[in-house]
């Protein structure tokens, strides 16, 4: 499957940061796994839809 550079970079950042973001959300929603998974995925989807550069993730998984 062909992916442009932005998509490849985003996929790389997703892999690097999804666990941290999920873990944060897991505890934020009182350890409700399914909700945390959905929110973590939505976080990345929204960023991708709005073309937020994945390079703007800091070491804590925050966009700025």
pTM score, whole prediction: 0.66
Q: What DSSP string describes the chain?
A: ----HHHHHHHHHHHHHHHHHHHHHHHHTTT-HHHHHHHHHHHHHHHHHTT--GGGB-TTS-B-
Per-residue confidence (pLDDT) for residue 58, from 0 to 100: 66
Whole-angstrom CA distances from 25 to 8, 19, 28, 53, 59 are 25, 10, 5, 21, 16
**pLDDT of 1 higher than 60:** no
Q: pLDDT at position 16, please? A: 85
Tell me what the mean pLDDT of segment 9-38 comes to.
91
Residue 46 confidence (pLDDT): 83
What span, in angstroms and rounded, lies between the C-alpha atoms of 58 and 64?
A: 8
- Give pLDDT, residue 13: 80
């Amino acid at each position: 499957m062909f992916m442009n550079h932005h998509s490849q970079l985003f996929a790389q950042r997703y892999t690097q940061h999804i666990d941290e973001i999920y873990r944060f959300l897991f505890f934020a929603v009182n350890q409700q796994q399914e909700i945390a998974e959905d929110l973590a995925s939505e976080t990345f989807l929204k960023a991708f839809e709005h073309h937020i550069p994945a390079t703007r993730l800091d070491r804590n998984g925050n966009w700025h």
